[in-house]
Amino acid sequence: MGKQDVQKKSKSHKDEGSSHSSKDKKDKKDKKDKKKSSYSDKEKKVVKSSGISYLKEIEELKKTIPFWDNMFSSDISDEDRQIAWTRLEVIGEPLIEKYSWAIPDKKAIHICKHFSPLIELGCGRGYWAKLLRDFDNTDIIAVDKYEKRKKWTNVENGDPYLALSKSSNSNRTLLLSYPDQGEAMAIECLRYYHGQYIIHIGELLVSGTGTKCGGLQRPWGKTTSADFQVTLVETFHCVLQYKLNSYPFSNDYLTVWKRTTWTDGRSAYDDDDDGDDDGNDGDDGGDEEESIASYQGSEDSNANANANQSRPSSCDSDSGESREGGEDDESVEDRDCWACIPDDEKLPTPNVAAPKYAHLL
């Protein structure tokens, strides 16, 4: 091989090396740009294969705080508690920022899947939605009005109330996970939502689970406002509650609520003229018997007439008929009516007591 050929070959190698170098730089830049907008494929693969990466990281953090479930006990020294708070701040807060406030597990995801299709409002980075989509392709729309730099899955950026107003979303179960962090969004969602089910994730006073926190968050918790919780229990009934893993300072439950139907009270069957307007004291036995007979006939007549009307007296709440989403709730407030909850939708209410007082039962 001549000297000229060697020089040409050397130049060719240099050009090729320069081309590879430019390509490598471009690939690195593309990967960097992609990482800015979403979590890496490796991170997402961990979520899909191992199930819940967040839960695994929490379990590792728990090992460093042996009194995780009893952090505020008087048996714990102030020094140990301060060390725990520091660990939660240094390690826990970045986990909340990366994933979510609420810690999912496989059973929680399975419960949510059962009530799909779903619409999650205030979904943050979409971590719960990501897990649900990975779980048998659950149908879920994830919405957050704040644009996130990094997201776990596709999240629609926009007004949550507009999302609820779409007719195509009217039959979806509403999923709310820590919706009121910094603003009262949940109560507004109730005003726009006309579907059958709400899944609430976080702390609730009205479900009896409460909060560990004192001060301004007592007794409603940090998840949703008092207005939301009162309106929720006025309009829906709880059909399921499941204890979630949570941080030592939280008391998180996944609860499922179904819209309540109503049946008329006694006043709906009473005759309007059930009194003696002419001042008769009722001493006349004949008149009294006639009045009773007249009242019974009127009551039977009213009952038959009402039976033929489409009143909200049916306990078949799955029918989607009367007194459900879309009707003015004030009509329920102004009526003599009672919650019509089928037996198979009532939570069991056993006699329970704290261990210290269990001997009283």
Where do the domains of the chain lie?
41-97, 103-262
Average pLDDT over residues 170-185: 84
Which tops the pLDDT comparison, 211 or 197? Answer: 197
pTM above 0.75, yes or no: no
| The pLDDT of residue 13 is above 60 | no
Residues 256, 207: contact at Cβ < 8 Å?
A: no
Q: What is the mean pLDDT of the chain?
A: 74
| The pLDDT of residue 61 is above 90 | yes
Three-class SS of residue 92? helix
Q: According to the model, what pLDDT value does residue 215 have?
A: 57
Q: According to the model, what pLDDT value does residue 355 have?
A: 87
Rounded-to-10 torsion of CA 221, 58, 37, 110: -70
| Predicted confidence band of residue 2 (pLDDT cuts 50, 70, 90) | low
Rounded-to-10 torsion of CA 122, 126, 131, 137: 90
Both tokens assigned to 306: 């009402």
Beta-bridged to residue 69, according to DSSP, are: none
Of 56, 30, 36, the C-alpha closest to 151 is 36
Q: Which range among 62-66, 232-236, 292-296 shows the weakest confidence by mean pLDDT?
A: 292-296
pLDDT in tens, 309-332: 333 334 444 444 434 444 444 455
Beta-bridged to residue 232, according to DSSP, are: none
For the chain, percent of residues with pLDDT exceeding 90: 31
Of 232, 147, 164, the C-alpha closest to 198 is 232
Of 259, 246, 163, 162, the C-alpha closest to 204 is 246
| The pLDDT of residue 75 is above 70 | yes
Distance CA 239, CA 207 (A): 10
Which tops the pLDDT comparison, 145 or 217? Answer: 145
| The pLDDT of residue 15 is above 70 | no
| The pLDDT of residue 153 is above 70 | yes
Considering all CA atoms of the chain, what is the largest pairwise distance in Å, rounded to the nearest integer?
A: 140
Identify residue 271 by its one-letter amino acid code: D
Place of tokens 């309007």: 272
Q: According to the model, what pLDDT value does residue 227 have?
A: 87
Both tokens assigned to 205: 């006073």
| Predicted confidence band of residue 303 (pLDDT cuts 50, 70, 90) | very low
| The pLDDT of residue 248 is above 70 | yes
Q: According to the model, what pLDDT value does residue 342 have?
A: 86
| The pLDDT of residue 22 is above 60 | no
CATH number of 103-262: 3.40.50.150
Q: Which range among 19-28, 47-56, 121-130, 336-345 shows the weakest confidence by mean pLDDT?
A: 19-28
Q: According to the model, what pLDDT value does residue 279 have?
A: 47
Average pLDDT over residues 43-55: 59
